[in-house]
Chains A and B, each alone.
Chain A
Amino acid sequence: MSKSKPKSKPSTNSVRAKKQEKLSFLARMEYRKMIMYPLAVFVIALILLAVNFPTLGIDLRGGVVVTAYGVDANPDELGKYISDKIGVDVRVESFTGVKASGVRVYAPIGTDPLKIIDAMKDEYPNAEYTHSEVQPTFGEIAQQQGIRALVFAFLAMAVVVFLFFRNLVPSLTIIFSALSDMTIAVALMGIFGIELTTATIAALLMLIGYTVDSNILLTTKLLRRKEDSIDKAYLSAVSTGFTMSTTTLGALLILWIISTSQTIDNIAIVLIFGLLADFMNTWVLNAGVLKWYLTREAARGGKA
């Protein structure tokens, strides 16, 4: 085993070198642009949010939803059929997974879910039905709690980041990156019609953990670097980060494909959004700010 070492080692390193080479375009970018572009994306995301905020799921807004598995139907026709039969306007959505497909029927609060199920049972007696209903009052509580959870989790993250780095500019950049990741993820949710639910709030909270990871890696590498140049340290960090992100993205994609549970699907897709945004925010924005910061410190004759 120990003899094969010298042979296999260069191969790994050559792969790494190739990857770093591929990613070196990032290192060559000017830091002004590195800061400008992601900021522009952040602003666009804010505008998108203002125009098209994701709709609230029934667990935050209140409402009734009946899910039927094993139903393969045209959503519009089925919706019309149910609306006619029970006299309440419903919205039908279909979904597919690896093993099962089905429909979700959304109805306003106060509708008896059993009536919807009965109406559907006439057509699809063998389907598997589940239902849930949430009163607007509880939806309100859940909303407040969700916002509170996000705010507190974010603040806690910010405090810990400050404690670890004790350096204003890098810490603020990490915090801003996380904020931008979440903003972009929510904006993308709006575009792709993914509802804001407790599950997706959980995903946004998860993003805090994921995004801080790569940002901390980058900041640590650049601030405590042993490599001689900033660019080299950056490249070594970005190649690690690239590995990290692709691995996580791959796993999430599999999760999204296999699961038919709406909860898991939504969590996976929101995380994918956030990780894509994080790639830009860490390796372009945060890196740009750090480059600028370190050059400035160096010019001032600081420790960098």
Chain B
Amino acid sequence: MKRRTKKLLRNWRIILLTLFLIGSIATLALKPLTFGIDISGGVALVAQTEHPVDTKTMQLVVDSLQKRLNTLGLRDITVEAQGDQIVLIKVANVTSPEEANQIKSVIESQGVFYMEFTGTVFGTGSDVEYVGIYKINPDNSWSVPFRISKSAAEEFAELAYGKKGWPVDMFLDPPVNSLMVVPESVYKAMNSSEFNAEAPEAPTLLERIGKAFNISVVAYANQSADEIAKLAQGKEKIVLVDVPGELQTELEGMNLTVRYVPRAQGESDHALIVRVLGLYGPYSLGEGLTVGEPQQDVQITGSAPDRLTAEQEASTIYTVLKSGSLPVKLSVVGMEFISPRLGEGFRTQAVYAGIGALITVLLIVYFHYRKWRIAIPVASTSLFEAIIILGFAALIKWNLDLPSIAGIIAAIGTGVDQQIVITDELLGGEKTTKISRRSSVLKRMGRAFFVIFASAATTIAAMSFLLVYFVGTLKGFAFTTILGVLIGILITRPAYAEIAKYLLGED
């Protein structure tokens, strides 16, 4: 008897289980579990990029969103790219629905920002490293200081060498890669030196946007929709500015992407152009920047007729610089807000439900076998399994959300099933003689573990697809399921088999 107990305790499977158990409890004690938004409270937002992007661009989106939300003073933010079009943003410690909505609008108002000079984009929003507080002078001139990245500064220094007074443009969400159809007067303005700051010899706005953004502009002279469609070949979209509205329906009928911009009442050509292009500027290049020396600290200056206008202009530029740092346009396609108090309720419920389920398992297993010697090991092995899964989750700082908890439940559910398979195989040996018993146990265990491995393999195979390239919340589910199944077949199931063999006297 004693020898058997010792043998059991020295069994490597039992030792392994004990080690993992101690390790998990220690981890849980040192590193508290992190919970998902749906449990701890907070807001989860799903944003989608305008079109699919490559990994590098996606990383830029993630970085800039992170930066942007950090500047809002929010903490506990996770921004995660999923696939080539989806970004998942989670912000914890959001307490009111209003605050949640504010975060949403911040993300949505973030535009794609470009800095352009002589038709070359030398920096985007991600090159803006710091924006200073704007200043309004008594003469109603204003300035917004900001810092650009080293690479942007270097490129700009090279481009701007010796070009004092030339126009620097900034754009927020320009209609990249498009065909613009505009009234004759608008075309003329764009093709003149009207947007050239103090350098008539610089390329016109028309040339600059053509080179920088692949925007072609044509003057409207009663062209038919067919003719316009032909001109727009290879472009992403057509922008119709202040031209007859029927064109829009006709072009859309040809399955083309069309944006229609009517002229606002009393809007000048200049104002219309600025609005359609998302143009800020042009700003005239000061002498200090044209000597070929890269300068990271720069400022935009301007002047206005009165103090209020100056204030507005400066604050607009300030906001644009501060917020415009996305390489591609984003829109929020889904959001979920859970109040922290409610999350707390879910957490206690999860604990109750877990304990309740465990007791149920204990009682039902007892009812089936009428033996606490089976029921207690089965239930406690499940408990150990849960502890080890949670320990792992704490160790790698996995965010436990509701789907993850569902995954743990799934893993434990199959765990109990498999322990019953082992138990029944062991109990089934009543007919065999003592001599053949030992080999019979091995065979039976072999059969039990065949079943266990086969079902574990199917579960893992099925779930790995989810884990690898599924977008959305099911990742957590897949992860904990796989983790649970692995812990089950590698650690807890073999240990349970040993314990069951010992307790059922089949050693």
Please, what's the 1-or-0 string for B400-431, where 1 marks a CB less than 8 Å from any CB in chain A?
A: 00110111011001101110110010011010
Given contact pairs A130-B339, A199-B406, A210 touches B414 in the complex (Cβ within 8 A): yes
- Tell me how far the C-beta of A70 lies from the nearest C-beta in chain B, rounded to whole angstroms: 10
B residues less than 8 Å from A129 (CB atoms): 97, 339
Binds A, one of B173-181, B261-269, B390-398, B473-481: B473-481
A residues less than 8 Å from B331 (CB atoms): 135
Q: In this complex, what residue of B is CB-closest to A225? A: B447
Once the chains bind, are B335 and A133 in contact (CB under 8 Å)?
yes
B residues less than 8 Å from A253 (CB atoms): 360
- Asked if B462 CB lies within 8 Å of chain A CBs, one says yes
**CA–CA, A276 and B232, complex, Å:** 59
Binds A, one of B184-192, B205-213, B279-287, B363-371: B363-371
- Tell me how far the C-beta of A119 lies from the nearest C-beta in chain B, rounded to whole angstroms: 13
- Asked if A8 CB lies within 8 Å of chain B CBs, one says yes
- Asked if B442 CB lies within 8 Å of chain A CBs, one says no
- Asked if A277 CB lies within 8 Å of chain B CBs, one says no
Q: In this complex, what residue of B is CB-closest to A121? A: B97
Q: In this complex, what residue of A is CB-closest to B373? A: A8
- Tell me how far the C-beta of B107 lies from the nearest C-beta in chain A, rounded to whole angstroms: 13
Once the chains bind, are A267 and B406 in contact (CB under 8 Å)?
yes
- Asked if B505 CB lies within 8 Å of chain A CBs, one says yes
Given contact pairs A212-B458, A248-B416, A251-B360, A145 touches B471 in the complex (Cβ within 8 A): yes
Please, what's the 1-or-0 string for A211-252, where 1 marks a CB less than 8 Å from any CB in chain B?
A: 011101100110010100000000010011001101110111
Once the chains bind, are B464 and A156 in contact (CB under 8 Å)?
yes
Once the chains bind, are A160 and B421 in contact (CB under 8 Å)?
no
- Tell me how far the C-beta of B343 lies from the nearest C-beta in chain A, rounded to whole angstroms: 9
**CA–CA, A261 and B31, complex, Å:** 26
Once the chains bind, are A212 and B406 in contact (CB under 8 Å)?
no
The one of A59, A132, A220, A244 in contact with B337, judged by C-beta atoms closer than 8 angstroms, is A132
Given contact pairs A160-B454, A217-B421, A226 touches B443 in the complex (Cβ within 8 A): yes
- Asked if B457 CB lies within 8 Å of chain A CBs, one says yes
- Asked if A43 CB lies within 8 Å of chain B CBs, one says no
- Tell me how far the C-beta of A151 lies from the nearest C-beta in chain B, rounded to whole angstroms: 9
- Asked if B333 CB lies within 8 Å of chain A CBs, one says yes
**CA–CA, A133 and B420, complex, Å:** 43
Given contact pairs A1-B1, A206-B481, A213-B414, A247 touches B406 in the complex (Cβ within 8 A): no
Once the chains bind, are A128 and B339 in contact (CB under 8 Å)?
yes
**CA–CA, A2 and B457, complex, Å:** 37
- Asked if B346 CB lies within 8 Å of chain A CBs, one says yes
**CA–CA, A1 and B248, complex, Å:** 88
**CA–CA, A205 and B363, complex, Å:** 28
Once the chains bind, are B481 and A99 in contact (CB under 8 Å)?
no
**CA–CA, A114 and B463, complex, Å:** 37
**CA–CA, A267 and B410, complex, Å:** 10
Once the chains bind, are B462 and A153 in contact (CB under 8 Å)?
yes
Once the chains bind, are A244 and B416 in contact (CB under 8 Å)?
yes
Once the chains bind, are A209 and B410 in contact (CB under 8 Å)?
yes
**CA–CA, A51 and B202, complex, Å:** 69
A residues less than 8 Å from B369 (CB atoms): 12, 15-16
A residues less than 8 Å from B458 (CB atoms): 156-157, 160-161, 208-209, 212, 216
Which residues of chain A (20-61) have a CB below 8 Å from chain B? 59
Once the chains bind, are A130 and B342 in contact (CB under 8 Å)?
yes
A residues less than 8 Å from B403 (CB atoms): 198-199, 202, 263
- Tell me how far the C-beta of A125 lies from the nearest C-beta in chain B, rounded to whole angstroms: 13
The one of A98, A128, A132, A137 in contact with B341, judged by C-beta atoms closer than 8 angstroms, is A128
Residue from the set A59, A130, A135 with the largest chain B CB neighbour count within 10 Å:
A130
The one of B1, B352, B430, B461 in contact with A156, judged by C-beta atoms closer than 8 angstroms, is B461
Once the chains bind, are B38 and A263 in contact (CB under 8 Å)?
yes
Given contact pairs A157-B461, A198-B474, A209 touches B357 in the complex (Cβ within 8 A): no
- Asked if B455 CB lies within 8 Å of chain A CBs, one says yes
Once the chains bind, are B451 and A247 in contact (CB under 8 Å)?
no
**CA–CA, A209 and B443, complex, Å:** 25
B residues less than 8 Å from A257 (CB atoms): 356
Residue from the set B406, B420, B424, B458 with the largest chain A CB neighbour count within 10 Å:
B458
**CA–CA, A97 and B470, complex, Å:** 32
The one of A157, A198, A226 in contact with B472, judged by C-beta atoms closer than 8 angstroms, is A198
**CA–CA, A216 and B456, complex, Å:** 11
The one of A236, A261, A267 in contact with B424, judged by C-beta atoms closer than 8 angstroms, is A236
- Tell me how far the C-beta of A284 lies from the nearest C-beta in chain B, rounded to whole angstroms: 19
A residues less than 8 Å from B473 (CB atoms): 198
- Tell me how far the C-beta of A222 lies from the nearest C-beta in chain B, rounded to whole angstroms: 12
- Asked if A300 CB lies within 8 Å of chain B CBs, one says no
**CA–CA, A104 and B91, complex, Å:** 23
- Asked if A260 CB lies within 8 Å of chain B CBs, one says yes
- Tell me how far the C-beta of B500 lies from the nearest C-beta in chain A, rounded to whole angstroms: 12
Once the chains bind, are A137 and B333 in contact (CB under 8 Å)?
yes
**A145-B470, A160-B461 are known contacts; what are 17 more A-B pairs with Cβ within 8 Å?**
A9-B505, A12-B370, A15-B369, A97-B349, A98-B349, A117-B97, A141-B85, A145-B471, A153-B462, A156-B464, A205-B474, A212-B454, A217-B451, A246-B364, A255-B357, A261-B346, A267-B409
| Interchain Cβ contacts under 8 Å between A and B, 21 examples | A12-B369, A13-B427, A117-B97, A142-B472, A149-B470, A161-B458, A198-B403, A202-B406, A202-B477, A206-B406, A208-B458, A213-B417, A213-B455, A220-B451, A224-B450, A250-B361, A254-B356, A257-B356, A258-B352, A263-B403, A264-B406
Interface residues of A (CB under 8 A from B): 1-2, 5, 8-9, 11-13, 15-16, 19, 59, 69, 97-100, 113-114, 117, 128-135, 137-138, 141-142, 145, 148-149, 152-154, 156-157, 159-161, 163-164, 198-199, 201-203, 205-206, 208-210, 212-214, 216-217, 220-221, 224, 226, 236, 239-240, 243-244, 246-248, 250-255, 257-261, 263-264, 267, 271
- Minimum-distance CB pairs A-B, first 5: A138-B333, A153-B462, A132-B336, A156-B461, A251-B357
